[in-house]
Amino acid sequence: MTLFVEPVSDVIAILPAAGIGRRMQTTLPKQYLTIGDKTILEHAIGVLLRQFCIREAIVAISPTDRWYHQLPVATDPRVSVVTGGSERVDSVMAAMRHTRTASWVLVHDAVRPCLHQNDLQRLLAIKNHTDVGGLLASPVRDTIKRAMTSTRIIASTVEREDLWHAFTPQLFARELLSNCLKRAIAEGAVVTDEASAIEYCGYAPLLVPGRADNIKVTCPEDFAFARCFLSQFANMENT
């Protein structure tokens, strides 16, 4: 007789959602813009919670946020909320204080609504063969130009071989991520994402190839793309 053993729920997800998003040219924070019948934030959370090993999602919101608690997801017992900070790293650190029972922490941008389940599954699978962690990423395909400082004049063409676009989610061992974030902040390092703190402390995260349509909504054209992608995903699920 073969027994089925369910995977251990050892991951807690963090979604920093305290940003304002002025580049969207709207008074409503971009994570609360609606695509279909859900906000961008709800799309981002929903994909994560379909994975059994992710037992909880922690959303870090602004202390002046007046939208989150109006959402249906606010009553989901698997989702909790904390007060975030002025910078992404501050929000992540605030949420990290509530992850002590997890072995792994997965951080996902609240404004990346187009994450594919297959990509997420591949990222989660790296827990089986790394003690550090990794992130979804996509190889750079376009030619990259470096501009002269504070100008739009080309200084050089950047060799794109071995260059990758860093995406989220990013998955790291909880204790390692906590220690690296604390050290990077204390020493004044620039922390643009969780992987940068891990790298700063001398570790090498894995790059997990992911789909390029896992976009971050930061400006109006991104919003248009996200609407298109999510519409296509819905059509594929219904065929």
| Cβ atoms of residues 113 and 199 within 8 Å | no
Q: What is the DSSP letter of 4?
A: P
User: Which pTM was predicted?
Assistant: 0.92
- Give DSSP secondary structure letters for 107-165: E--TT-TT--HHHHHHHHHGGGS-SSEEEEEEE--S-EEEEPTTSSSEEEEEP-TT-EE
How many Cβ atoms sit within 10 Å of the Cβ of residue 116? 16
Both tokens of 69, joined, read 């608690």
pLDDT tens digits, residue range 14-56?
999 998 766 666 789 999 999 999 999 999 999 999 999 999 9
CB atoms within 10 A of CB 196: 18
pLDDT single digits (tens) 166-212: 999 999 999 999 999 999 999 999 999 999 999 999 999 999 999 99
> d(Cα 30, Cα 166) in Å, to the nearest integer?
20
Burial of residue 138 (CB within 10 Å: 0-12, 13-18, 19+) is middle
3 confidence band (pLDDT: 50, 70, 90): very low
pLDDT score for 19: 82
Can you name the residues that pair with 156 across neighbouring β-strands?
Answer: 146
Long-range contacts of 23-29 (CB under 8 A, 24+ apart): 23/218, 23/219, 24/217, 24/218, 24/219, 24/220, 24/223, 25/219, 25/220, 28/67, 29/62, 29/65, 29/67
What is the domain partition of the chain in residue ranges? 11-231
pLDDT digits (tens, 9 = 90+) for 140-177: 999 999 999 988 999 999 999 999 999 999 999 999 99
Question: pLDDT tens digits for 107-138?
Answer: 999 999 999 999 999 999 999 999 999 999 99
pLDDT for residue 166: 98
The correct answer on CATH 3.20.20.70 for the domain covering 11-231 is: no
